[in-house]
């Protein structure tokens, strides 16, 4: 496979989402000042997050998590869902483990039965622009045959993503939260 959906190590300042473990210190007045971002970080392009991860990020977002309850949209309006253009979307390690386990299951299902209707909600935002080379003459068609032809790219991305998130959590056992920061 020559084409891969990129997962960048470190911080990319352009249109990328940033995945990073954080430690939150309780008891200060302004909650953003309580977030210590750890060094390890990966960046994934916004279009790829929307196409392949957004379903999971929304599904597993815990609006009852106290840290998520304190977020606002910059205008002091509370936000109770996974959202773009915020500094932080918080996920506990426990929640991340559940999410990446489901992503692994989806990758396996895509591999063995990619037309299974149970995958429809996951695949609804798939974009051929995100997982097929620009020189593919069928890229614009969006037909099922083109998706089938390139499904291995999505499977590869899901497996690399889940492995990288597991590695991140294992490398940072002193943290219990992953922050997903939107551009």
**Interior angle at CA 84, CA 101 and CA 175, nearest 5:** 50
pLDDT at 133 over 90: no
Q: Average pLDDT in the 14-34 region?
A: 78
10 Å CB burial of residue 89 (0-12, 13-18, 19+) is: buried
Q: Average pLDDT in the 76-91 region?
A: 77
Residue 115 is given by DSSP the state: T
Mean pLDDT of the chain: 85
**Is residue 20 very low, low, confident or very high in pLDDT (cuts 50, 70, 90)?**
very high
Q: Which residue ranges make up each domain of the chain? A: 8-181
pLDDT at 32 over 70: no
């Amino acid at each position: 496979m020559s084409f891969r959906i990129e997962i960048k190590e470190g911080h990319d300042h352009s249109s990328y989402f940033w995945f990073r473990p954080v430690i939150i210190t309780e008891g200060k007045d302004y909650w953003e000042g309580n977030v210590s971002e750890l060094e390890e970080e990966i960046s994934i392009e916004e279009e790829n997050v929307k196409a392949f991860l957004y379903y999971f990020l929304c599904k597993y977002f815990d609006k009852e998590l106290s840290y998520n309850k304190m977020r606002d949209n910059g205008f002091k309006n509370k936000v109770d869902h996974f959202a773009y253009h915020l500094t932080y979307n918080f996920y506990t390690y426990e929640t991340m483990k559940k999410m990446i386990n489901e992503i692994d299951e989806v990758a396996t299902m895509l591999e063995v039965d990619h037309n299974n209707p149970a995958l429809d909600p996951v695949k609804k935002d798939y974009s051929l622009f995100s997982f097929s080379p620009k020189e593919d003459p069928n890229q614009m068609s969006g037909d099922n045959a083109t998706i089938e032809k390139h499904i291995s790219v999505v499977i590869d991305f899901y497996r690399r993503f889940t492995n990288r998130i597991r590695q991140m959590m294992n490398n940072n056992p002193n943290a219990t939260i992953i922050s997903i920061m939107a551009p």
